[in-house]
């Protein structure tokens, strides 16, 4: 069952906050629907995700993030887990800025 993005975006923020253990004011969720895309040679619903964080990702942590995010994406966007990749990126505090300065 597909659920409107207006409901999905805040839920995705909540999942990221709970799995990464961060504050919601530092979470940005960007979903671009209706893209022309293939995955494994098929144009069935699919997606690519990137989760960037200063800490909180890596090693076994990523399995917890993946479990929560893949479940949400399947339930709310109708994309099966075998039709999507999520890349986890641990960003250095000096490599990302907000409000005019880096986090370093």
- pLDDT (tens digit, 9 = 90+) per residue, 89-98? 999 999 999 9
Looking at residue 21, its pLDDT comes to: 92
Looking at residue 30, its pLDDT comes to: 92
- pLDDT at 102 > cutoff 60: yes
- In terms of Cβ atoms closer than 10 Å to its own Cβ (0-12, 13-18, 19+), residue 38 is exposed
Angle at 29 between CA 89 and CA 60, to 5 degrees: 35
Q: Which CATH number fits domain 5-29+37-92: 3.60.130.10, 3.40.50.410, 3.30.429.10, 1.10.10.60?
A: 3.30.429.10
Looking at residue 13, its pLDDT comes to: 94
Distance CA 104, CA 87 (A): 23
Looking at residue 2, its pLDDT comes to: 55
Domain ranges of the chain: 5-29+37-92
CA end-to-end distance (rounded Å), the chain: 42
In eight-state DSSP terms, residue 43 is -
């Amino acid at each position: 069952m597909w659920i409107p993005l207006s409901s999905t975006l805040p839920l995705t923020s909540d999942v990221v906050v709970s799995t990464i253990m961060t504050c919601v004011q530092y979470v940005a969720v960007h979903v671009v629907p209706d893209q022309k895309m293939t995955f494994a040679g098929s144009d069935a619903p699919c997606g690519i995700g990137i989760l960037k964080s200063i800490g909180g990702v890596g090693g076994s942590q990523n399995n917890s993030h993946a479990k929560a995010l893949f479940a949400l994406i399947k339930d709310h966007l109708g994309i099966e887990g075998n039709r999507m990749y999520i890349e986890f990126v641990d960003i250095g505090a000096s490599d990302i800025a907000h409000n005019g300065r880096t986090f370093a």
